[in-house]
Structure 1
Amino acid sequence: MGSAADLIVFTTEDLKLCTNNFHENNLIGLTQFGKLYRGQIKQQGFNIGSQAGDVTVKIWDERSSCITFTDDEFLMVKEEVQFLTHPGIKGHPNLVKLIGYCCEKELKGVVYDLNPWDTLHNLTLKDNLNWVQRANVLLQIAHLLEFLHNQDKPYLVLNTNASHIMLDWDCKPKIVDFGLISGGIIGEMTTIKKQMPMYTTGFVDPFFAAKGGSYWHTSCDVFSFGVILLGLVAKRNSERENVGKPHLGLDLLVHNWAKNAYRPNCSIVHRSLQEDWGYFAEDGIAITELGMSCVEFFPVNRPTMKKVAECLQGLLVFQRLEDARPNKREKTFHGN
């Protein structure tokens, strides 16, 4: 397991116990390769460094049509542990903190030190986020992707979507799935991973997908982020609840409503959000233009995640927040 010496090795029974045998009441949502559950491990005597003992448990579902079997059935667990425990990555405020893992024939999973509110996908469906919260989530995810892309060997997340972003009770977003990650310490994308994105939801880059998945680039993450952005500000369900199914939602999102609704120098921000505190008409136009540029068909026409983050940071809503809370601005994470 590489740098996993300080992690807890859980058994299948441990994870069943902390999730009440994976009871449906503890199910948070689906990922591309499995499921997310709420857990409580305080009563089991593990020292997890969290007073409450509330955790998030992610398991891999080997019956999922998205999984392509390899010679190493534990590969996804190993890669995630390797990534999340790497000194240059570990501790980033928008990446989950790994407590431990389970690698048994019966069950493969990981445990995060995260008291979950819900996934971004679910909260969008429930309409539980106001304008400031949505803008904050977008800015933090943009900074995270910028950070990963700016490594000496850039990371490519590839399956970034609203179901893979968890929010804690402070509305801080955390990415919780890395099943297709490549670059950095993980190394170049394997042939198997190049083929897997063809089975993701409506966040897959159409330009590279049209090439049969033979080549992927950091601009794919920009496209996925643009899909998240447009769905979040317009209150549109980008995923169509197609996690684990072919990317049926892609054309529906980009061509059927976003591009039809778009007009230069106009906003597609939902009317109800335009009535929220902190909303400015100028921001609505700017964020609409940004989202549309991210989902441009040709990657050369898309901005980098650095440009995306700069654009979001320049929104008037953040200037207003800085004026209201001048001492609470978070520092940029640079790793160890």
Structure 2
Amino acid sequence: MAVAVKKLKSTSFHGHKEWFTEVNSIGQLHPNLIKLIGYCLEVENQFLVYEFMPKGSLENHLFKRGPQGPQSLSWEIRIKVAIGAARGLCFLHEAKPHAIYLDFKASNILLDAEFNAKISDYGPSKAAAARKYVATGRLTAKNDVYSFGVVLLELLSGRRAIDRKKICTEQILVNWAKPFLGDKKQLFRIMDKNLKGQYPQKGAYTVATLALKCLSTEAKFRPKMAEVLATLEQLVNPKMTHFVI
């Protein structure tokens, strides 16, 4: 069996079998969560063993160059990845006790051989941290929704959330892209050139307006992940036509 092994810092692992048992049971409950297969508790050798995801992370496909240049993802695959990630995040939010992810980003979305997306690095430790902040009113599930909106922007634009190599006005993706998200005629300005115009105009605008809602400054105006998922699933529609700009 091919597996992925993550070495932990000595201070980052609780060292309790209960932790493994709970994370393992959560991972078994949903196909869009990475499965934790095993662990090592030795003081100097602390490892987590996960199922192997042959396509690596979404981050690698969007931003890192391979031997043959950028590994571009088609529009259909991007939507497939977004839906899979949304399903996993929605499950965590609706679980009992519910979990808030805290660190949702492209590097934590892993892809199997068929580009099915699975969320990694979730678990009770994050849920416990989240509950601590929830008690103070500083953190809710809507924080994850904002982060999901950032990932949607990355999928649309092929740009990193923060890129210091860009000119000043384009370094922060959210700040640069927001003015174009609600404008059908201007949306093409932020679309990933690697798509070469091969995407449905209606679908792209739907994702853009969804991202805009997720990125609302006030958390109360952001949709729940269940609503986000429902909107994305509606995009899997063969009647949508493609266009080239």
Query: Quick check: 2:182–2:212 contact (8 Å CA) kept in 1?
Result: no
Identity %, equivalent residues: 31
Which residue is 2:101 aligned to? 157
Which residue is 1:312 aligned to? 232
Which residue is 2:20 aligned to? 81
2:191 aligned with 1:265: no
- TM (norm. structure 2) is 0.79
Which residue is 1:114 aligned to? 52
CA distance in 1, matches of 2:181, 2:197: 20
Residue type of the partner of 1:171? F
1:59–1:240 Cα change, 3 Å: farther
Length, aligned pairs only: 223
User: Where does 1:187-336 land on structure 2 (aligned, <5 Å)?
Assistant: 187=128, 189=130, 191=132, 194=133, 215-238=138-161, 240=163, 252-255=172-175, 257-266=176-185, 267=187, 268-273=190-195, 275-276=197-198, 279-315=199-235, 318-320=236-238
Stretches of structure 1 lacking an aligned partner (at least 5 in a row): 1-52, 63-68, 195-207, 242-250, 322-336
Which secondary structure state, in structure 1, belongs to the residue aligned with residue 203 of structure 2? Answer: helix
Residue type of the partner of 1:219? K
1:272 Cα deviation from its structure 2 partner: 4.0
Runs (4 or more) in structure 1 with deviation over 4 Å come to: 76-80
1:131 Cα deviation from its structure 2 partner: 1.0
1:89–1:296 Cα change, 3 Å: same
Query: Quick check: 1:294–1:303 contact (8 Å CA) kept in 2?
Result: yes
Query: Quick check: 1:158–1:221 contact (8 Å CA) kept in 2?
Result: yes
1:54 Cα deviation from its structure 2 partner: 1.4
1:284–1:75 Cα change, 3 Å: same
RMSD (Å), alpha carbons: 2.9
1:291 Cα deviation from its structure 2 partner: 0.7
Residue type of the partner of 1:265? K
2:86 aligned with 1:138: no
1:170–1:111 Cα change, 3 Å: same
2:5 aligned with 1:61: no
- The one-character-per-residue Cα deviations of 1:6-34 (angstroms, maximum 9, x if unpaired) are xxxxxxxxxxxxxxxxxxxxxxxxxxxxx
Which residue is 1:103 aligned to? 41
Which secondary structure state, in structure 1, belongs to the residue aligned with residue 48 of structure 2? Answer: strand
1:230 Cα deviation from its structure 2 partner: 0.4
Which residue is 2:67 aligned to? none
Residue type of the partner of 2:62? T
Stretches of structure 2 lacking an aligned partner (at least 5 in a row): 65-69, 165-170, 240-245
1:216–1:77 Cα change, 3 Å: farther
Higher normalized helix content (fraction of residues): 2
CA distance in 2, matches of 1:175, 1:240: 24
1:132–1:223 Cα change, 3 Å: same
